Amino acid sequence: MAELFHDADAEVPSPFGPPAAAGGAAFAELLLSSHLALTGRPLCPPRWTSPDEAAHWLYADARFGLLAHGPGPDPTFCYANRTAQRCFGYSWDEFTGMPSRLSASSHHQEDRDDFVRAAHEHGFADGYTGLRRTRTGEEFWIKDVTMWDLLDAGGDSRGQAAVFRDWSPPVRPM
């Protein structure tokens, strides 16, 4: 796995604030239950005694990038864990509310859109590798990506989430 390539001491929001803003334990449960139901695999080890602990671990301690966007024709990010924030170079406040399509440069939109569509059509998609863009315009690879639909208890879509388990350092644009 690539090392986090942004300054580890950079200002990152409190691990307890952003998950609460995104639904906290309830949102973590949506992420975890949807992933398990659609892929048949747990997103993370079941070692927490409370949903709040799972929410904290997903946000602050997970060694994978985890992103989520809401539903709609031009969905915006509603969640980005600390690893994803560091990889993309955005703070919580910068990430959330940003259209998710902006995570890829315009010349990589078709590839990104195809993956998003495949995940939606089948409930989830696995094995994706794609180029993404940092806040400063540098590109980096996300690898071993799984994207899945976020389905509530009634089966209604609440958006999509993606986990990337590996990534490359960014390359400065020419």
Sign of the CA dihedral with 142 first, then 146, 152, and 155 last: positive
Token look-up 């949903």 returns 51
Which tens digit of pLDDT belongs to each residue from 1-42? 443 333 333 444 433 345 555 568 889 999 999 999 999 999
82 vs 69: CA distance, rounded Å: 16
Q: Are 170 and 140 in contact (CB under 8 A)?
A: yes
DSSP 51-92: HHHHHHIIIII-SSEEEEE-SSSS-BEEEE-HHHHHHHT--H
Among all chains, which residue has been given the structure tokens 């307890």? Answer: 16
Among 49-53, 67-71, 156-160, where is mean pLDDT lowest?
49-53
User: If pLDDT is split at 50, 70 and 90, which confidence band does 108 have?
Assistant: confident
Quote the percentage of the chain above a pLDDT of 90.
Answer: 61
pTM attached to this predicted model: 0.85
